[in-house]
Amino acid sequence: MFPKNTWYVACTPDEIDGKPLGRQICGEKIVFFRGPDGEVAGLEDFCPHRGAPLSLGFVREGQLVCGYHGLAMGANGRCAGMPAQRVGGFPAVRKFPVVERHGFVWVWTGDEALADPALIPHLEWAENPAWAYGGGLYHIACDYRLMIDNLMDLTHETYVHASSIGQPEIEEAPPVTKVEGDMVVTSRFMENIMPPPFWAAALRGNGLADDVPCDRWQICRFTPPSHVMIEVGVAHAGKGGYDADPKHKASSIVVDFITPETETSIWYFWGMARNFKPEDAELTATIREGQGKIFGEDLEMLEAQQRNLLANPQRRILNLNIDAGGVQSRKVIDRVLKAEAEQAAQRAQTSVAA
């Protein structure tokens, strides 16, 4: 199960550049496109005429035209016209609240009356020119909570990412987890270690020596429904570690927006934001390529894990101290789901009473 009264990243603007995009999110099949004023719209991906997916059509003058018989739909979900036919009386399709912000398109799949754009998280790195961002999208066949587990316990880097960001010192440094309201924070600090290949390259990219001992940090922050931001970096040893002057370190924020498609599949929007050499497009592309390969390794492991769990429903997964971040994140999700269910029940009772 997944929360619905919340904002999820649905797509990036380039995915709807001049064409509609069909995407299933939280079990809802939605088509995204730009309306006549350029604003993004999200409609139920179902033509009211014969049930064809509207996403198989095209956009004409801000209207979504069904690719089956030419029924045109407005951004408000109502039928706008059809050649030589009367369709004004056709029922409207569901319209989803959609907001374009921070370089992403966000969608609300729950109660439309509760969709407040102010609830979309503020992303300083997306609005500040002192930061650069590069990212991508993976479709992964796994429960969204498995990805959260993965990101809130980076011990796996030693094994899954041994050739890039993994090193034995990660599992030798115990993580510390704390809960701050609905935010779960898991931190790990390593001192006086050699940087792994990915971070050695980042140091070089920032004009720093890559062959000297460094202090390394990983600070994972989960917020509901399924967002994980990870502060990562290395600084030359003895310069202050996490608090070192920027001239002595290379640091970034690993961006993870996990959008459920179904109970066992996700849209994973990944990326990295950095505040050093933001003008260096080549460096952005290099980091993006390296990070994409790293997350590709996660994809393989997570899909295999999901298949194993589906094949063995009687088995339960076990928890260790290193799993505290994921365990606490799941508890937050459970609280959010419970509150959402109670809210829905209250609305139903009010409706009946009225």
Residues 179 and 326 in one domain: yes
What's the pTM value of the predicted model, to 2 decimals? 0.94
Is residue 349 in some structural domain?
no
CATH of the domain at 284: 3.90.380.10
Structural domains in the chain (count): 2
Is residue 346 in some structural domain?
no
Is residue 123 in some structural domain?
no
Contact 150/287 with Cβ under 8 angstroms? Answer: no
Q: Secondary structure of 26-78 in the HEC alphabet? A: CCEEEEEEECCCCCEEEEECCCCCCCCCHHHCEEECCEEECCCCCCEECCCCC
Is residue 353 in some structural domain?
no
Of 89, 118, 147, the last residue of a domain is 118
Residues 140 and 258 in one domain: yes
CA-derived radius of gyration, the chain? 23
Residues 105 and 246 in one domain: no
Alpha-carbon dihedral angle through residues 189, 208, 194, 236, given to the nearest 10 degrees = -40
Residues 143 and 52 in one domain: no
CA atoms of 7 and 9, how far apart (whole Å): 7
Is residue 254 in some structural domain?
yes
Is residue 210 in some structural domain?
yes
Q: Each residue's pLDDT tens digit in the chain (354 positions)?
A: 899 999 999 999 999 999 999 999 999 999 999 999 899 999 999 999 889 999 999 999 999 999 998 999 999 999 887 776 776 777 889 999 999 999 999 999 999 999 999 999 999 999 999 999 999 999 999 999 999 999 999 999 988 998 889 999 998 999 999 999 999 999 999 999 999 999 999 999 999 999 999 999 999 999 999 999 999 999 999 999 999 999 999 999 999 999 999 999 999 999 999 999 999 999 999 999 999 999 999 999 999 999 999 999 999 888 989 999 999 999 999 999 999 999 888 887 777 766
CB under 8 Å to 339, separation ≥6 — which residues? none
Is residue 341 in some structural domain?
no
